[in-house]
Amino acid sequence: MKIKKRFALLIFLCFLMTVVLSYTYSEDGIILGEYIVYQRDFSNNKNFLIETRVHRGNAPELFLLNMKENVSQSICAPEMAIIYTPKVNDRGDFSYVKYINSNAFGCELFFNNRKIAEGNKIEILDISDEYLFYYSYKNNLGGNPCCLYQFEIDNETTKIIKEFNKERIVRGVFDIVSECLLLNYWDETIMNNIVVKYEIKDGKITNAEKYGNKNEMAILWQDNSQYYVELIKFKNDNSKYLYNAYFFYYLYQSGEPFSITNNYGGRISWNESYRLLGLIELYEKTSNMMVLQDIEKTINGILSVTNKNLKVNLSKEQCLNLWSTKKYSISKETELNLLVDDAMILWPLVKAVNSGMGEEVSAKIIQTAEELFCVFEKDYFGGNYFFEKGIDFSVDGICLPWNQQNAMGLMLIELYKNTGNEKYYRICREMITSFKNEWIVKDNYIAWHYWPIMFYEGWSIIDEISLNTPSKNKTEDLLLEDVSHAGLNLEFILSYHDTFKDNIISCEDINKISNNINKWCFKDGFARFISGDIEYSPKGYNYHIPHHWAKLKNDHLDAYFTSLHDHVNPDFDNMSLLIAYAVKYDPDIEVGFEYKQITSSEFVSMKVKDREQYIEYFINKRDAI
């Protein structure tokens, strides 16, 4: 068995922007040892290494290694949070961001294990012996402006050195030799990615050199300790979609960041599930065997961390093959099996089986999906699923939001495709009928609420509906569902229409839903809700990517996905981008691009003419170290 070590996360940028590659693999994909590496960063002198390790079945843990003295120190291992963009300098000073709820909102910045800032979407760019550079968005949702900060290490002072109003920072690095900060960001005014080299003196930008424009995408790369800019011209939009999909696959998602961790923080339900859906879509479009191998490894990883394998102490034996979460329990300590969490995991797993993947474990996956249906059958009444009464959950006994119910519907459609069992079709038909009966239908568009109407009508104590929320006043929902969650409902609608030819969902329905995009998709940003409201929350480009909506035709949304958008959320909450790019890519349309490498010593121009050369291009980027 040949051993292959992968330290490729340094390739992309030593400032380590979310490259997710396994630590040590055999050639056949078996993980060697008890952990994989999620993120890592070496000091410039290579004396120190900081890395986030994911041990099988555990939460990610941050380690600092003194390479000269061969000493390893555990920094932290929060069960519910995610440690992000760890950095270390030549003195051994280290910094990291803690995303408290394992999603993009609410995070804290630490320096030498002491909190120095808190905010929204904080990301560390680089650290030297003198400075720490990071950025953060002032607004939790709209995201404007984005502020670039410099933390001076010796006197521990922080200053804003630049505000960005129309730009979204993607990645950056501080060149200690030239004392320049190189930033790669997406500029919404030209809808493209550019690179800017800033000279910084006394906490102020004194000069700026810009690369890229509306017609040329600029990407910042690293080869060993050398940084260079690449200017890229694409043959057509389809070429951009494939480039963006492979960019995210090879440089962000070709490893397994969370498929072997537990699901207590929802990392499998809300991170790996979307990643796996994107990989499936990409493989079906490209037949790339490397993608297939990663799908197989991901499936095996997820199946290795079920409740039974992690020895989770559950009162319900029928949940042993599922994946418990603590994220949504009131106490944050109770292990719960919630319908949406398990359905979100099994939906892509069954979809993979139906696409001819995971053959060795296909029977196990189908059996587990059928068990999920049986476990929650008691909570299903007349076209709606309900939270079990009495569990450690805020709205026990209440109907599930539409997107959570329809996540189960998506899994059941895949299960029906595999088994042909009519009971799954019957449940799906009842669910889509209940959902459609509550649609808001206008002359030219269709929309819906987040919850079923019964939730907004409220309930009283005498109804004895819920123990944890015994009563709720009647409310009116004017905002409607948020665009991100509404995308899950859209997936259910489209999948139902494509699978069952019973005319419950018509082509006219889909056209009207497609028209809804014009309510929330503007030339200068997205509204948060499908109502199009921009007063409650300002429009902007920093909401969760509306990746499900990429399946519908819309000129502005199509143009938006021609750009790289790895700035929107940290990578663990950005997995869905791969889905959007893969969905937009059409394998029947030719692809290609030209690129120029700009370094201090040379100017290189090359062409990528077909899909095979795309693969070669990205493998070279990933393995350049």
Mean pLDDT calculated for residue range 423-435: 98
Confidence category of residue 136, pLDDT binned at 50, 70, 90:
confident
Closest CA to 538 of 107, 101, 137: 137
The listed CATH number (3.50.50.60, 1.50.10.10, 3.40.718.10, 3.30.360.10) that belongs to domain 242-584: 1.50.10.10
Strand partners, 440: 447
| 480: region left, alpha or beta (phi > 0 left; psi from -120 to 50 alpha) | left
Q: Could you give the CA distance from residue 467 to residue 461 in angstroms, rounded to a whole number?
A: 9
Q: What is the pLDDT of residue 254?
A: 57
pLDDT for 365-404, tens place per residue? 999 999 999 999 999 999 999 999 999 999 999 999 999 9
Question: Domain residues of the chain, as ranges?
Answer: 3-234+592-622, 242-584
CA-based angle 35:114:92, to the nearest 5? 60
pLDDT(140) > 80: no
Closest CA to 245 of 571, 564, 558, 22: 564
Contact present, 162 and 182 (Cβ < 8 Å)? no
Contact present, 480 and 409 (Cβ < 8 Å)? no
Angle, nearest 10°, between helix axes 273-286 and 339-354? 20
Q: What is the pLDDT of residue 600?
A: 55
Confidence category of residue 417, pLDDT binned at 50, 70, 90:
very high
Confidence category of residue 524, pLDDT binned at 50, 70, 90:
confident
In the DSSP assignment, the letter for residue 549 is G
Q: Could you give the CA distance from residue 208 to residue 174 in angstroms, rounded to a whole number?
A: 14
Name the amino acid, one letter, at 165.
N
pLDDT for 235-273, tens place per residue? 999 999 999 999 988 877 655 668 899 999 999 999 899
Q: What is the pLDDT of residue 29?
A: 35
Closest CA to 173 of 132, 117, 216: 132
> Class of 3-234+592-622 per CATH?
mainly beta
- What is the residue whose two structure tokens read 């691009």? 593
**C-beta atoms surrounding 437 within 10 Å:** 10
C-alpha separations of 157 from 90, 199, 203, 620 in Å: 20, 20, 11, 40
Name the amino acid, one letter, at 398.
I
Strands 180-187 and 71-76: unpaired
Name the amino acid, one letter, at 197.
K
Q: What is the pLDDT of residue 621?
A: 79
Q: Kind and range of the H or E element at 331? A: none
Contact present, 168 and 139 (Cβ < 8 Å)? no
Q: Could you give the CA distance from residue 539 to residue 535 in angstroms, rounded to a whole number?
A: 9
In the DSSP assignment, the letter for residue 367 is H
Q: In this structure, what token pair is assigned to residue 548?
A: 């499900």
pLDDT(2) > 70: no
Q: What is the pLDDT of residue 416?
A: 98
Q: What is the pLDDT of residue 144?
A: 55
Q: What is the pLDDT of residue 10?
A: 29
pLDDT(625) > 80: no
Confidence category of residue 598, pLDDT binned at 50, 70, 90:
confident
Name the amino acid, one letter, at 458.
G
C-alpha separations of 439 from 220, 425, 452, 458, 480 in Å: 46, 21, 10, 19, 11
Q: What is the share, in percent, of the chain residues with pLDDT greater than 90?
A: 64
Q: What is the pLDDT of residue 142?
A: 46
Name the amino acid, one letter, at 212.
G
More reliable by pLDDT, 64 or 318: 64
- What is the residue whose two structure tokens read 């320096």? 111
Q: What is the pLDDT of residue 381?
A: 96
Query: Strands of 146-152's sheet, edge to edge?
Result: 82-88, 94-99, 107-111, 114-127, 131-137, 146-152, 157-164
pLDDT(178) > 90: no
First to last CA, the chain: 23
In the DSSP assignment, the letter for residue 462 is G
Q: With 0-12 CB in 10 A as exposed, 13-18 as middle and 19+ as buried, what is 474?
A: exposed
**C-beta atoms surrounding 361 within 10 Å:** 19
The pTM score is: 0.91
**C-beta atoms surrounding 323 within 10 Å:** 28
pLDDT(278) > 90: yes
Q: Could you give the CA distance from residue 384 to residue 183 in angstroms, rounded to a whole number?
A: 49
Q: Could you give the CA distance from residue 233 to residue 595 in angstroms, rounded to a whole number?
A: 6
Q: Which of 2-16, 158-172, 497-511, 553-567 has the lowest mean pLDDT?
A: 2-16
Q: Could you give the CA distance from residue 293 to residue 313 in angstroms, rounded to a whole number?
A: 33
More reliable by pLDDT, 226 or 557: 557
Q: Could you give the CA distance from residue 132 to residue 128 in angstroms, rounded to a whole number?
A: 6
Mean pLDDT calculated for residue range 289-310: 93
Mean pLDDT calculated for residue range 607-616: 90
Strand partners, 408: none
Contact present, 88 and 43 (Cβ < 8 Å)? yes
Q: What is the pLDDT of residue 6?
A: 29
pLDDT(511) > 50: yes
Strand partners, 152: 131, 157
Q: In this structure, what token pair is assigned to residue 6?
A: 């992968």
In the DSSP assignment, the letter for residue 250 is I
Instruction: Tell me whether the omega of the peptide bond preceding residue 145 falls within 30 degrees of 0, making it cis.
Output: yes
**C-beta atoms surrounding 278 within 10 Å:** 26
Closest CA to 600 of 43, 172, 175, 171: 175
Sign (positive or negative) of CA dihedral 538, 542, 548, 553 = positive
Q: With 0-12 CB in 10 A as exposed, 13-18 as middle and 19+ as buried, what is 481?
A: buried
> Which residues in 438-484 belong to E strands, given as ranges?
440-441, 446-447
Confidence category of residue 166, pLDDT binned at 50, 70, 90:
confident
CA-based angle 305:310:315, to the nearest 5? 115
